[in-house]
Structure 1
Amino acid sequence: MTAPDGPAGVREFPVLPMSDTTRRMTGRVVTEAAAAISALVADGTLKPGDRLLAQRLADLLGVSRFPIGQAMRILADRGLLTADPGRGFSVASDGPDHAASYRAERGHDDLTSAYFRIAEDRLAGALPDTISEQAMRDRYGLGRGQLSQLLNRMAGEGWAERRPGYGWRFSAVLTTPTALEQSYRLRLAIEPASLLEPGYCLARETLLRCRAVEERMLGGEIETASADALYDRGVRFHEAIVGASGNPFFLDTLKRVNRIRRLLVYRSLADRSRYRRQAAEHLELLRLIERGAQIEAAGLLRAHLQGVMEKLSTVRPLLEAKQHPSG
Structure 2
Amino acid sequence: MIDRSIATQILELIRNEGLEAGEHLPAQMLADRLRVSRSPVNEALALLHEKGVLTREKNRGFFVARPVVEALSDVVEELGLSETDLITSVYFQIADDRLKGQLPDVFSEQLIRTRYGLTRAQLNAVLSRIAQEGWAERKPGYGWEFSPMLTTPDSLLKSYRLRLALEPAALLEPGYRLERKVLERCREVEKHLLAGGIETDTADQLHERGVRFHESLVEGSGNSFFIDTIRRVNRVRRLLSYRSMQHRERYAEHAKQHLRVLELLEQERNEEASDELRQHLLHTLDALARIREIFEP
* Class of the TM-score when normalised by the shorter of the 2 chains: 0.7 to 0.9
Mapped to 2, the partners of 1:293 and 1:235 lie a distance apart of 23
TM-score (norm 2): 0.82
| Aligned CA distance change for structure 1 residues 68 and 299 (closer, same or farther; 3 Å) | closer
What is the aligned partner in structure 1 of residue 195 from structure 2?
A: 219
- The answer to whether structure 1 residue 115 and structure 2 residue 96 are counterparts is no
Q: The residue matched to 2:145 in structure 1 has which SS?
A: strand
Q: Give the C-alpha shift of residue 170 in structure 1.
A: 0.8
What is the aligned partner in structure 2 of residue 318 from structure 1?
A: 294
Please tell me the residue identity of whatever aligns with 2:178: L
Mapped to 2, the partners of 1:311 and 1:103 lie a distance apart of 33
Q: Give the C-alpha shift of residue 277 in structure 1.
A: 0.3
Q: Give the C-alpha shift of residue 84 in structure 1.
A: 4.7
- The answer to whether structure 1 residue 169 and structure 2 residue 145 are counterparts is yes
Please tell me the residue identity of whatever aligns with 1:227: A
Mapped to 2, the partners of 1:165 and 1:101 lie a distance apart of 44
| Residue of structure 2 aligned with 1:201, choices 157, 174, 177 | 177
Please tell me the residue identity of whatever aligns with 1:308: T
What is the aligned partner in structure 2 of residue 145 from structure 1?
A: 121
| Aligned CA distance change for structure 1 residues 220 and 178 (closer, same or farther; 3 Å) | same
Mapped to 1, the partners of 2:214 and 2:38 lie a distance apart of 31
Q: Give the C-alpha shift of residue 118 in structure 1.
A: 0.3
Mapped to 2, the partners of 1:266 and 1:225 lie a distance apart of 12
Give 1:295-310 correspondences, 5 Å limit.
295-310=271-286
Q: Give the C-alpha shift of residue 308 in structure 1.
A: 0.3
Asked whether the equivalents of residues 239 and 255 of structure 1 are also in contact (C-alpha less than 8 Å), the reply is: yes
Question: What are the Cα deviations for residues 112-144 of structure 1, in whole angstroms up to 9, with x where unaligned?
Answer: 000001001101111011111122111112222
Asked whether the equivalents of residues 199 and 248 of structure 2 are also in contact (C-alpha less than 8 Å), the reply is: yes
| Aligned CA distance change for structure 1 residues 117 and 235 (closer, same or farther; 3 Å) | same
| Residue of structure 1 aligned with 2:62, choices 73, 80, 89 | 89
| Aligned CA distance change for structure 1 residues 33 and 71 (closer, same or farther; 3 Å) | farther
Q: Give the C-alpha shift of residue 313 in structure 1.
A: 1.2
Mapped to 2, the partners of 1:100 and 1:204 lie a distance apart of 27
Please tell me the residue identity of whatever aligns with 1:35: S
- The answer to whether structure 1 residue 245 and structure 2 residue 240 are counterparts is no
Give 1:48-63 correspondences, 5 Å limit.
49-51=25-27, 60=39
Asked whether the equivalents of residues 134 and 235 of structure 2 are also in contact (C-alpha less than 8 Å), the reply is: yes
Please tell me the residue identity of whatever aligns with 1:244: G
Mapped to 2, the partners of 1:60 and 1:195 lie a distance apart of 34
Question: What are the Cα deviations for residues 252-286 of structure 1, in whole angstroms up to 9, with x where unaligned?
Answer: 11111111101011111011110000000111110
Please tell me the residue identity of whatever aligns with 2:281: L
Give 1:263-282 correspondences, 5 Å limit.
263-282=239-258
Mapped to 2, the partners of 1:230 and 1:151 lie a distance apart of 22
What is the aligned partner in structure 2 of residue 233 from structure 1?
A: 209
TM-score (norm 1): 0.74
Q: Give the C-alpha shift of residue 73 in structure 1.
A: 1.9
Mapped to 2, the partners of 1:49 and 1:118 lie a distance apart of 32
Give 1:14-29 correspondences, 5 Å limit.
29=1
What is the aligned partner in structure 2 of residue 10 from structure 1?
A: none
Give 1:9-48 correspondences, 5 Å limit.
29=1, 32-38=2-8
Asked whether the equivalents of residues 160 and 170 of structure 1 are also in contact (C-alpha less than 8 Å), the reply is: yes
Asked whether the equivalents of residues 243 and 251 of structure 1 are also in contact (C-alpha less than 8 Å), the reply is: yes
Q: Give the C-alpha shift of residue 37 in structure 1.
A: 4.3
Mapped to 2, the partners of 1:299 and 1:221 lie a distance apart of 27
Q: Which has the larger radius of gyration?
A: 1
Question: What are the Cα deviations for residues 206-258 of structure 1, in whole angstroms up to 9, with x where unaligned?
Answer: 11111111001101111111111111110000011110111111111111111
| Aligned CA distance change for structure 1 residues 107 and 234 (closer, same or farther; 3 Å) | farther
Question: What are the Cα deviations for residues 9-34 of structure 1, in whole angstroms up to 9, with x where unaligned?
Answer: xxxxxxxxxxxxxxxxxxxx5xx532
Q: The residue matched to 1:136 in structure 2 has which SS?
A: helix
Mapped to 1, the partners of 2:45 and 2:272 lie a distance apart of 47
| Aligned CA distance change for structure 1 residues 36 and 51 (closer, same or farther; 3 Å) | closer
